[in-house]
Amino acid sequence: MPWNKKDYPDSFKNLTDDVRDKAIEIANALIRDGYEEGRAIPIALEQAKKTENSDEDRPVYEIKKHDEGWQLKKKDSKKAILIEETKESLMGEAKRYVNKNHGELHIYTEDGSLSDTLYE
């Protein structure tokens, strides 16, 4: 069940707005990745609280259309980190790369509009 700013788990109730929004985003991403709600909620809470207390700026990576298929690149960079023929084949490697580098992943559609943001 996807959550939003008005409908979220009770355990998110006493969080600040920023942390709650981050927890909702993380929990929704975990659910999409196959986690059960009971496991996704505590993971999302922990990760959202860590990001609030984190002083470092997280790098932003983007999955965008490329001449040869789809690419993973760092935001504002011209050079691709990974290139695959299909978006689906790029997703797994891209998620691992972004997680390893403690980043944020922005996923775009073919027309260049933002379709999803993952904090993992």
pTM: 0.54
Residues in contact with 3: Cβ distance below 8 Å, sequence separation at least 6, in sequence order: 9, 12, 24, 27, 28
Q: Which of 26, 69, 62 is nearest to 44 (CA)?
A: 26
Q: Is 70 helix (H, G, I), strand (E, B) or coil?
A: strand
Per-residue pLDDT tens over the stretch 9-60 = 999 998 888 889 999 999 999 999 999 999 999 999 999 888 776 645 789 9
Bridge partners, residue 104, by sequence: 60, 119
